[in-house]
Amino acid sequence: MPQKVLCDGCGETLYEGYEIKSPEEIYETYNGRCPKCGKKLLLIPKRVEILPARDSLRSSQ
Ligand SMILES: [Zn+2]
């Protein structure tokens, strides 16, 4: 599963890919602000979805 980092303000996808990026890298990529809504990015993204498929199957049963 790819790493996915979303903006805490508007839900814009800031990064999505199989290469794991550090919060600092994502922060620097956008100069510390979301390109869509302008919200200041947190150095520690609140929403990072790394969900192995087997875990989601288990929880639905
Ligand atoms: Zn945003």
pLDDT digits (tens, 9 = 90+) for 2-31: 888 888 889 999 999 999 888 888 889 999
Residue 12: φ, ψ to 5°: -60, 140
Pair of tokens at residue 4: 């996915």
pTM: 0.62
> How many Å lie between the centroid of ligand 1 and the Cα of residue 13?
8
Asked if residues 3 and 16 have their Cβ atoms less than 8 Å apart, the reply is yes
> How many Å lie between the centroid of ligand 1 and the Cα of residue 28?
15
CA–CA gap between residue 10 and residue 52 (Å, rounded): 25
Q: Which residues surround ligand 1, an ion (CB under 5 A)?
A: 7, 9-10, 12, 34, 36-37, 39
> How many Å lie between the centroid of ligand 1 and the Cα of residue 44?
15
The whole-chain average pLDDT of the chain stands at 80
